Structure 1
Amino acid sequence: MKIGLYFGTFNPIHVGHLTIANHLAEHSDLDQVWFIVTPQSPFKKKSTLLDDHQRLEMVYRATKDYVKLRPSDIEFGLKQPNYTIDTLTYLFEKFPEHEFALIMGEDNLKSFHKWKNYELILENHSIYVYPRLSKGNVETQFSNHPKIFNISAPIMELSSTFIRKEIKAGRNVRPMLSDNVWHYIDEMNFYR
């Protein structure tokens, strides 16, 4: 089985995440997309995140009605801060029957050369890149790489940061979230 790994803090998961993941599950050779809930990104401050299990619960609620989309807490037990190469190594050992590919926005591809052991990642895994509205040239050193696939997915310029700010300001964000996630955030008074 070929699994696409969609990494993120998902703080919160929103309809943009779901749209991109579902598009890849339906329009590529990926059999499933796993949302890898990241406990602590090396690039984000821990203090801005909801508890790991609350974010996992939101991903579970958002994906439970989609057969090809799955939540994953695989990084919760790994040493923090964690790097993608470590997660991929662990997944390969735990699920040798699966082939794993990365899913990332083209904005992340621009800085991919700065990732820990990026050459090893590219040697062993495909990367599916979804479009973003971006300023400047999106050409990178990876533009013609045989393991990097540009996917013609809908462009979703919705961010979790924007949603958190809108909630804090008391504005209605319900259309930006799946119903299950919106109800959970509302019930728990998150981001207020």
Structure 2
Amino acid sequence: MTGHPEAAPPTMLCVLGPPAVGKMTVGQEIADRTGLRLFHNHLTIEPVLRFFEFGSPPFRRLVDGFRQQLIEEVAASDLPGLVFTFVRAFDRPEDQRALEEYTEPFRRRGGRVRFLELAADQQARLRRNESPSRLAEKPSKRDVEQSRRILLDLDERHRLNSAGEFDHREDYLRLDNTHLEPAEVAERAIAHFGLRRRLT
């Protein structure tokens, strides 16, 4: 007796890393190859910035609420899943709690949650901070000098990459993409996690 193959469980791939490391660009490459939807963090940040200052209580509530609701809806849908980008400070327990909350809808429904961490040296990130695709998608970064100051300040104040403490986990992949093209990073991640490719 033959039947339809079982649908793959929905996947949430969290792409972590410091500002301008290439999370959105790599995420788009993965989305193009797999059919996962790209949900980069500035999709929620930019509209809220029109009304409230970055980091203010209303800003945090709105951004977090929008992220939670969208992830919940995708997890409950028949979509294959999403690629979610997030700047995680590894010295801030609240960032870990936020990731747990964001991924919970997928876990609750038996979906797969995977983590791709990107690292690149500061000079490479400062160059990428001015890339046309970044400035097109993220209006708040178009004041390049201010964006550069924020990047340097965050590097100074927080630990924005792990030190290998998650390398033993099957659901975690850490890559230094200083000298890697986004397409190569995407291919490595797809192979490592066994992500299903989009049917052509």
TM-score normalised over the length of structure 1: 0.36
Structure holding more helix per residue:
2
Q: Which has the higher contact order (CA 8 A, sep 6+)?
A: 2
TM-score (norm 2): 0.35
